[in-house]
Structure 1
């Protein structure tokens, strides 16, 4: 049984600005790069070949696209987080999220996204309570640089024993399953 996720790892030229905040407020800093989660952690015995075939089928007709992120939001449903908001490319990411949760991965859709409420984001802070979250927002203050990247591939990740990210596969957009 493996715990896996499916992500986009955007390559922002100014990602060091994100990492400065994550280093202070995200306990997964150092375990995983800034990412947009398409399929949240799920435990399964799905063989990697079956998962690859499924995702290749979904991405084979998808084209690359640009994504931009800007602005931080405090979010207090399902925990206490700071999210870097996705602006451009948001609709494409939402479509991918729901396409990936059909077929083989349908049973692994997170309860909080089944009603169509998936919101693409990059988590930059995780907190034990609302006070810590609000204090971090005050500490960060105005933060509005724009982060731009081309999305060309998605990553199948296994989460290791120490929460580390282990990339199992990288699947390009428009690639056939050969």
Structure 2
């Protein structure tokens, strides 16, 4: 089984703003839709059916919930220089989902990092480019709001493209 990821793919009325920013700064913009990662890429022997059952068992009592994203932040870690669109509403629910999914069958893939819900809108090669990108996106003052009613599992294809293999509807 190839690498899989568990994500939220929010659908905003003004998503074109996010897409425009990602086209400039995110090398994955043409491969995966704007998303909030809940479980980072993992390679597991779990079948898709077992993974689907894990979602049902972990998220059975999670109802659709509202999220709002607004404002940007920059982050540097061992994986690169990132530009994030910040989650300002729904953060607690997203963290709860993240924590639940990393229990039991996916526990071994939890890197133990401090999880802060966000949408990555850029990854650049240097801090200088990150500073420039950050200055550029701060001209936007858009708010992005929607109701989340499903959690998706994607498989990462051989060219890093996103292939949705499971969609779990929230009650």
Aligned residue number for residue 144 of structure 2: 147
1:97 aligns to what SS in structure 2?
helix
Uncovered stretches (5+) of structure 1, i.e. residues with no partner:
none
* 2:72–2:138 Cα contact (<8 Å) kept: no
Equivalent residue pairs, number = 170
Once the two structures are superposed, residues 105-130 of structure 1 have per-residue CA deviations (whole angstroms, 9 ceiling, x without a partner) of 00111x2xx15x10000000001111
Of 130-139 and 25-34, more deviation after overlay is shown by 130-139
* 2:95–2:116 Cα contact (<8 Å) kept: yes
CA distance in 2, matches of 1:77, 1:70: 22
Aligned residue number for residue 129 of structure 2: 132
Aligned residue number for residue 14 of structure 1: 14
2:158 aligns to what SS in structure 1?
coil
With the length of structure 2 as denominator, give the TM-score of the two structures.
Answer: 0.96
With the length of structure 1 as denominator, give the TM-score of the two structures.
Answer: 0.92
* 1:156–1:168 Cα contact (<8 Å) kept: yes
* Runs of 4+, deviation exceeding 3 Å: none
Aligned residue number for residue 63 of structure 1: 63
Task: Tell me how far 1:132 sits from its aligned partner.
Answer: 1.1
CA distance in 1, matches of 2:145, 2:21: 18
Once the two structures are superposed, residues 63-93 of structure 1 have per-residue CA deviations (whole angstroms, 9 ceiling, x without a partner) of 1100000001111123200000001000100
CA RMSD in angstroms comes to 1.0
CA distance in 2, matches of 1:149, 1:163: 27
CA distance in 2, matches of 1:154, 1:12: 16
